[in-house]
């Protein structure tokens, strides 16, 4: 078996012990004589798998009983539509903070269902900083305020939580889900595509405050309707059972590692080590304001961009994957999700040093 150091932005690295367990249980899940893939979602044992995953996620994030946990499909992009369709209610507008590629997409999709007001965005389109809260042009009548705590493409992260009065906060946590403890009570709805930090693609986790459920627009598809999902245990139609099962194993893994405090500490160590190296080496540069740098997606450019291909080819030979930056930003990106071990970051820094010695 030969595994690479996987810095993919998503789908991304999963804990090896989880993959091993999936492999061990693949043909015969605990004496039931079939794979989880082959089980009915309405029968034991899948109902147990599903309930355990929810209970473990509730423990990990300390989710209050007044919040529903939904296991959905359609990705985070599906939630760009689901959030406005479920939360608009009698209101006509929602506020959007645009800090990078993903929050921009969310705002554009939201505009199909309501007046999506961009209340804050940086002065230019490089998205290298978070506009300070004091300058946000908030509306008291907004159905919600949407923001993206971690911008996966631009490598920008909120290290604070917007505090609003009366207007529910809607957060696309896809790439920083389970990377640090959060206070769920600060939010109206939290959602995350599982494929960054919580499992395989195909599952979207939604955590929504009970009182926001049940006011969806008439046009809301059944599969995106929070109430139908909440009332059916996320089984109003066939859920992504295999992805749900694997996410459940990832939740157990995170609990075994010491929970989100421990995930946060590791995330801090990995990202600060890489930023320290980049900041001390003139050949590499990170364009993001220091206070808004992402702990999860570290973007960097080479002093000579004509060496980009050589950097990536060398990286591939040295056993690294997923370092090419998004085409919107260029350069490189190392995504440091929970399942990326610290040795991978050390090895990457060694490679970056070696590259400067040879080509810099
Ligand atoms: C990856 C990502 C998305 C898109 O997720 P899909 O599941 O592919 O729709 C949206 N928002 C953020 C912050 C992401 O990282």
pLDDT in tens, the chain (360 residues): 689 999 999 999 999 999 999 999 999 999 999 999 999 999 999 999 999 999 999 999 999 999 999 999 999 999 999 999 999 999 999 999 999 999 999 999 999 999 999 999 999 889 999 999 999 999 999 999 999 999 999 999 999 999 999 999 999 999 999 999 999 999 999 999 999 999 999 999 999 999 999 999 999 999 999 999 999 999 999 999 999 999 999 999 999 999 999 999 999 999 999 999 999 999 999 999 999 999 999 999 999 999 999 999 999 999 999 999 999 999 999 999 999 999 999 999 999 999 999 997
Ligand 1 centroid to residue 329 C-alpha, Å = 16
Which ligand 1 atom is the nearest neighbour of the CA of 193? 7
Question: Is the shortest distance between the CB of 294 and ligand 1 below 6 Å?
Answer: no
Between CA 288 and CA 106, with CA 104 as vertex, the angle to 5 degrees is 130
Closest ligand 1 atom, residue 102 Cα: 11
Model confidence pTM above 0.85: yes
Tokens 């996410």 -> residue: 247
List the structure tokens of 250.
């990832």
Q: Say whether 172 is catalytic.
A: yes
* Separation of alpha carbons 189 and 170, rounded Å: 5
> Token digits for 171?
């957060």
State in Å: Cα 32 to ligand 1 middle: 35
Q: Which atom of ligand 1 sits closest to the CA of residue 10?
A: 1
- Ligand 1 centre from 323 Cα, in Å? 18
Q: CA 147, 168, 248: angle at the middle one, nearest 5? A: 70
């Amino acid at each position: 078996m030969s595994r690479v150091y996987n810095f993919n932005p998503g789908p991304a690295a999963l804990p090896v012990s989880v993959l091993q367990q999936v492999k061990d249980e693949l043909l015969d899940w605990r004496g039931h004589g079939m794979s989880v893939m082959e089980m009915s979602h309405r029968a034991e044992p899948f109902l147990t798998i599903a309930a355990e995953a929810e209970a473990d996620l509730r423990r990990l994030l300390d989710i209050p009983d007044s919040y529903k946990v939904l296991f959905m499909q359609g990705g985070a992009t599906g939630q760009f539509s689901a959030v406005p369709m479920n939360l608009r209610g009698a209101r006509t507008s929602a506020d959007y903070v645009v800090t990078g590629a993903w929050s921009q997409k969310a705002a554009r999709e939201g505009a199909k269902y309501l007046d999506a007001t961009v209340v804050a965005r940086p002065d230019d389109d490089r998205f290298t900083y978070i506009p300070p809260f004091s300058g946000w042009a908030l509306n008291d009548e907004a159905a919600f305020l949407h923001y993206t705590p971690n911008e996966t493409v631009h490598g920008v992260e909120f290290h604070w939580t917007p505090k609003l009065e009366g207007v529910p906060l809607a957060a696309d946590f896809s790439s920083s889900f389970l990377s640090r403890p959060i206070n769920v009570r600060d939010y109206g709805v939290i959602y995350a595509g599982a494929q960054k930090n919580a499992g395989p693609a195909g599952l979207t986790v939604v955590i929504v405050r009970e009182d926001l459920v049940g006011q969806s627009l008439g046009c809301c598809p059944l599969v995106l309707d929070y109430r139908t999902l909440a009332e059916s245990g996320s089984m109003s139609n066939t859920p992504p059972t295999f992805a749900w099962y694997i996410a459940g194993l990832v939740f157990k893994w995170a609990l075994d590692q010491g929970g989100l405090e421990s995930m946060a500490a590791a995330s801090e160590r990995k990202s600060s080590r890489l930023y320290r190296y980049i900041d001390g080496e003139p050949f590499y540069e990170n364009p993001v304001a220091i206070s808004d740098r992402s702990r999860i997606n570290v973007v960097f450019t080479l002093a000579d961009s004509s060496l980009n291909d050589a950097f990536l080819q060398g990286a591939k030979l040295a056993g690294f994957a997923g370092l090419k930056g998004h085409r919107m930003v260029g350069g490189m990106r190392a995504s440091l999700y929970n399942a990326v071990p610290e040795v991978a970051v050390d090895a990457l820094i060694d490679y970056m040093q070696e590259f400067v010695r040879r080509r810099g």
